[in-house]
Structure 1
Amino acid sequence: MCGIAGFFRSSAPVADVSVLKQMGEVIRHRGPDAGGEYLDEYVGLAHRRLSIIDLSSQGNQPMISADGRLVIVFNGEIYNFLTLRAELERAGVVFRTKTDTEVILALYQQQGVACLEKLNGMFAFALWDTVEKTLFLARDRVGKKPLYYYHAGGDRLAFASEIKSLLQLPGIAREVEPTALADYLKYLYVPAPKTIYRKIFKLPPAHYLVLRPGGEPRISEYWDVDFSTGTAFSPAEAEDALLELLQDSTSCRMIADVPLGAFLSGGVDSSAVVGLMAKVSREAVRTCTIGFADKRHDESRFAREVADLFTTNHSEYIARENLPETVALMPKFFDEPFADSSAVPTYHVSRLARQAVTVALAGDGGDESFGGYGKYSIELKEDLARRKLPRFLLAALNGCFQGFAHPLARKVRSLTGSALLEPARAFYRTNTFIEDDILTELLAQPVRNACSGYDPGEHTVRYWDKMRGADHVTSMLYTDLKT
């Protein structure tokens, strides 16, 4: 990964190259190999580089186009950049580097915003057009790469890969957004576009932002997943097509000029990725696993079986140190409240992997893509009850089991309670961790007042409603993809 940062000079009139350097320095961990800055009368750009493709200094950023018109800072990887490069070369483009960064520059120079339609990859980048005086920010389709921005009205805007970088700007107040606190207590993270801070936002996945001096930022969506087109595949044909897609998506992520490996948990998703990597790799795949001394949470034995199956170069680390100390480190990296416990093993396996590789593939996203979470099957049962049982019966069952502590009574209350709700509201209940009345009790009176009339469920409901008319599974998968 790399790190990017920058600002419109109106957002911090006193900011200079030293501020840009500091914005980059606090995210040095994202890009320890090189750093650079660009500053003119309108904008400042900073970059921290982790070298993956074309390790020479020619790949350093900010990168300026051959004609001097465009300047870019880019974090990510464009998987189809070789195909795009070949197309551009046939159109007469001459490249100075072997990087995917330069391909983005050339593609934007030819197609403008429409270049996003051709990019297959994970990315967040900022591109400054010195002629049109236009700042263009863009984020990949599912938001694998982070991109935050600060907006204080008008063209007073700054951006960065991490919030801590934005906080280096003079004059930015660290004020908590009360509704974001409510969101966090419900979802255990702060859903986009908000962050925990006022005036600091996440650019949503599959969106871009355009800003010109004296104007307001214009944010637009450039892509959305489309479930409307059906397929005529037989099950066997679907299996073959899926395997081909998985193999292609894995292979294109293995293009790197540095050592590459995989996180292996022993579960279906990461094991499938390792198997697909082994199929095309010319050498043993490097795999890394994190285990725990507490056998109730340790799955390293399953990872070992998969490593043996595919004859990988396997490394294993058993986390024995004080795990609360690891938890205490997390705010340094996340910059805002985040309560996903998987961050702890991910931190340790990343440290282990970095000893041997620079790039690591993982099985993240498999449950969202293939409906692997247990909540989906529970949701289907609730929806069946909603459609098949009369409301009076659901209400009666729910009432009969109130006040009982037995696990079966709790399950009946949960199922019937959700079945009595509209599907979108029921899924909101599924995806959150406390009931709304408990949230109200938790909030101090000033925060409660600031959140008066606010509905955290809107984050779920707005995406569910976009799938109105779709089947229940499609609605669940789409909503989880977008939130």
Structure 2
Amino acid sequence: MSGICGFVGAPASGIDMEGTLQAMLKSIGHRGPDGRHVYVSREDGFGLGHNYLRAFSPNSHGDSAGFAKTGSFAVAIDGAIIRHANASEAAAASVFADLSDQESRTALTAYQHSGSRWLSELDGPFCLALWDGEKKQLHLSRDKLGEKSLYYLFDRSRNLLVFASEIKALLRYPGLQAELDFESLSIYLAFGYIPGPRTLFKNIFKILPGEHLQFDLAQGLQLSKYWNLPPIVDAVDDEAFSIRRLRELFLQGLEGYVNGCQDVAVFLSGGIDSSIIVAALKELGVPRIHSFTIGFNLADSRVQKLDDLKYARLVAEKFATQHHELEIAAGHNPWPRLMAVVRQFDDLIMTPNSYSKYLLAEAVREAGLNSVLTGSAAAGACGVHRKFLD
């Protein structure tokens, strides 16, 4: 995880562009303590910021992964672009072939060689901001399933676009204020989440999964979809082939994400999703798998039914992970951490396990690891919740 932010259309005078970017990046400093990058084009009123977190990814070395400035282009990436569908054909001819940052090189090469298809040819969990200084165009996008977040505010009266990985960074831009959207609040209280592109605030929107925002200083803002979820069928002609293909794609994606990493952390509940991740990491030959589980040492039988410790231990023993357990006991005091948890929710969603995940994330960091794999939202990504497709 990294953090990106920026703006285009800023007035030529009256704003400290570098200072504004630094303030925006500071507000999301938790997303990237391992590097910070700022680029400004005063002529275009454009600024781009990037916080970098060194994590398990194909590009986990160096302090500039996910950021590049070359020629008239600048790009910042949160996440991992695992591959470009036509990378082998395009790489040799690319003017970006000498860029040391793999993900920036991949994104810019796709942009240069693939025309309007460039985003659809990128795989992996990512969001990106790409500035084409020659065309005076900004491109913002999220990955196909929306694993990474990206928000924006467009002020038509000033022809100003501000964007960031989190809403709190948007509000660091001078003169912008958050105004509660009561209709969004009503939706949240009814359904437990706020469907995109809405957020809890007026005039602040989220870019949807598989969506591309193009902002042109002359023509303004355009939104388009570069990818849509294909139809989900209830039956397949060859079940055995489908199972093999799913397994192949799952291992391929996971291998691309943790390629070369010696230590990988996993939130392990002992359920299907997280257990499959652990098994796959073992098959891929990851030397040290660190599993993290939380349970409850409470007398209440209703809470005991939610305890994951027993099942997680079985999986950890089966695959010989370096297993870490946390227990919430009767005397546990949540208040010192509770406001820190709440502060992370720029976009409200009713997730009753958010506090326990925060505790697990602390344990991961204390173990010296920066990133963690989880099985969260796997059912949604696999199309299990059919009601959301209707």
- TM-score, length-scaled by structure 2: 0.88
Runs of 4+ in 1 over 6 A off after TM superposition: 228-231
In the TM superposition, what is the alpha-carbon distance from 1:6 to its structure 2 partner?
Answer: 0.4
Partner of 1:181: 185
Higher fraction of helix:
1
Partner of 1:298: 307
In the TM superposition, what is the alpha-carbon distance from 1:5 to its structure 2 partner?
Answer: 0.5
Q: Are 2:7 and 1:7 aligned?
A: yes
The alignment covers a number of residue pairs equal to: 374
Partner of 1:441: none
Partner of 1:247: 251
CA distance in 2, matches of 1:131, 1:111: 18
The 8 Å contact of residues 292 and 325 in structure 2, kept in 1 or not, is answered as yes
In the TM superposition, what is the alpha-carbon distance from 1:78 to its structure 2 partner?
Answer: 1.1
Partner of 1:110: 113
CA distance in 1, matches of 2:77, 2:380: 27
In the TM superposition, what is the alpha-carbon distance from 1:365 to its structure 2 partner?
Answer: 2.8
CA distance in 2, matches of 1:223, 1:29: 30
SS at match of 1:248: helix
Aligned residue among 352, 355, 360 for 2:363:
352
SS at match of 2:266: strand
Bigger Cα Rg: 1
Partner of 2:301: none
Aligned residue among 56, 64, 68 for 2:69:
64
Partner of 1:88: 90
Change (3 A) 1:98 1:198: closer
The one-letter code of the counterpart of 2:292 is: C
Identity %, equivalent residues: 29
Where structure 2 has 5 or more consecutive residues not aligned to the other structure, the ranges are 299-303
Partner of 1:25: 26
The one-letter code of the counterpart of 1:307 is: A
Cα RMSD (Å): 2.4
SS at match of 2:120: helix
The one-letter code of the counterpart of 1:99 is: Q
Change (3 A) 1:51 1:371: closer
Q: How does 1:42-191 map to 2 (within 5 A)?
A: 42=44, 43-52=46-55, 53-57=59-63, 59=65, 61=67, 63-65=68-70, 68-80=71-83, 85-91=87-93, 93=95, 94-153=97-156, 155-191=159-195
Partner of 1:478: 389
CA distance in 1, matches of 2:195, 2:236: 36
In the TM superposition, what is the alpha-carbon distance from 1:361 to its structure 2 partner?
Answer: 1.6
Change (3 A) 1:230 1:130: same
In the TM superposition, what is the alpha-carbon distance from 1:257 to its structure 2 partner?
Answer: 5.1
The 8 Å contact of residues 5 and 165 in structure 2, kept in 1 or not, is answered as yes
Higher fraction of strand:
2
Aligned residue among 364, 367, 373 for 1:361:
373
Change (3 A) 1:258 1:199: farther
CA distance in 1, matches of 2:121, 2:258: 20
- TM-score, length-scaled by structure 1: 0.72
Where structure 1 has 5 or more consecutive residues not aligned to the other structure, the ranges are 377-474
The one-letter code of the counterpart of 2:4 is: I
Partner of 1:329: 340
Change (3 A) 1:324 1:341: farther
Partner of 1:338: 349
The 8 Å contact of residues 35 and 60 in structure 1, kept in 2 or not, is answered as no
Q: Which moved more, 1:24-33 or 1:107-116?
A: 107-116
Change (3 A) 1:69 1:369: closer
Partner of 2:318: 309
Change (3 A) 1:370 1:164: closer
Change (3 A) 1:351 1:196: same
Change (3 A) 1:282 1:147: closer
The one-letter code of the counterpart of 1:24 is: L
Change (3 A) 1:341 1:192: same
The one-letter code of the counterpart of 2:168 is: K
Change (3 A) 1:297 1:327: farther
Change (3 A) 1:281 1:135: same
Change (3 A) 1:70 1:235: same
The one-letter code of the counterpart of 2:62 is: S
SS at match of 1:298: coil
Aligned residue among 204, 212, 224 for 1:220:
224
In the TM superposition, what is the alpha-carbon distance from 1:276 to its structure 2 partner?
Answer: 1.1
